[in-house]
Amino acid sequence: MGNLSLHRFGQFVRLTKSESDAIGRLGIERRRFKRHDVIRSQGDPVREIFFLIEGWVACSIESANGARQIVKVHLPGDGLGGQSLALAEAAESLCALTSVVVVDVVPAERFGELFLSSPKLAAGMFLGAQQERIWLMDRLMSVGQTSAVQRLASFLLSIHDRLSAVQEEPLDSIRLPLSQEELASVLGITHVHANRTLMDLERTGLISREGRVITLVDMEGLRDFAGVPKRQFQTDPPWLQEALRRHRRRKGASSEESGPQS
């Protein structure tokens, strides 16, 4: 149940057994939430970060007049709230989207210690943050430059791609736990328009719907239509491998760094 591989530190670097174990010991507590429960609220002091074990979570920012933008829909395996490590008060609210949400709670100091203890892990965390930046840039482009229907297409594709990376089945249907209200605040439109947008996209034949289950009928057509490129993230980037080699050589083969990769 506490599957280590869910934490994606290993996406960008190959971890040794001892590094994986250290990650496994990170959390001090496993907390459960129900739909609509608030995991963290905008403005809360930043004492901890979270890792999502089960369920979906919305990461949102509210404007002064109360409008809420969901800036990220988190899936199992995601780290939550890491961005606010740069702040004293959390910038984002984290809210449970599914009826069951389970997160590991990691105190900030503890995270910091792990970060400092292994340069390779630190690099993995750094690249994870850069990956989130890319995703945000793509969403910003989508919201700023494309129509509501295109935004919907690109959002569905991004969820599809991220689910596919984790799950094993090919998966052309997505059970979206979001209400149309929530979907709307992902896309930056109103819930009324979200409804019409869903029906528009259905009418074109690119998707079909049955309740909240959405089937991506024509994946290629959707991708062309959305206009957002599919990103190929680099596992184990060559420049980092090279830097790691030199770093190890300089330090001499210390026990913790030189082991064969998992």
Partner DNA sequence: CGGCTATTTGACGAATCTCAAAGGGAGTGG
Partner DNA sequence: CCACTCCCTTTGAGATTCGTCAAATAGCCG
Q: How many residues bind DNA (CB under 7 A)?
A: 20
Tokens of 258: 């030189």
Nearest to 185 by CA among 66, 51, 55: 66
Residues 133 to 172 in contact with DNA, rule: CB under 7 A: 147-149
Tell which residue, 51, 17, 55, has the closest CA to residue 36. Answer: 55
Residues 169 to 188 in contact with its own copies, rule: CB under 8 A: 185, 187-188
Q: Does 117 bind its own copies (CB under 8 A)?
A: yes
Q: Is 123 in the site for its own copies (CB under 8 A)?
A: yes
Residue 177 in contact with DNA, rule: CB under 7 A: no
- Among 32, 191, 231, 245, which residue interacts with DNA (rule: CB under 7 A)? 191
Among 188, 221, 227, 237, binds DNA (CB under 7 A): 188
Nearer to its own copies, 232 or 255 (CB): 232
Q: Note whether 138 binds its own copies by CB under 8 A.
A: yes
Q: Which helix (H) or strand (E) holds 162?
A: helix 148-166
Rounded Cα distance, 189 and 148, in Å: 7
Residues numbered 85 to 104 that lie near its own copies (CB under 8 A) are: 85-89, 91-92
Which amino acid is present at 145?
Q
- Contacting residue, 6, 122, 174, 217, with its own copies by CB under 8 A: 122
Radius of gyration of the chain (CA): 20
Cα separation, 149 vs 194, in Å, equals 9
Per the CB < 8 A criterion, the answer to whether 122 and 115 are in contact is yes
How many residues are present in the chain? 262
Q: Which residues bind DNA (CB under 7 A)?
A: 147-149, 179-181, 188-193, 195-199, 209, 211-212
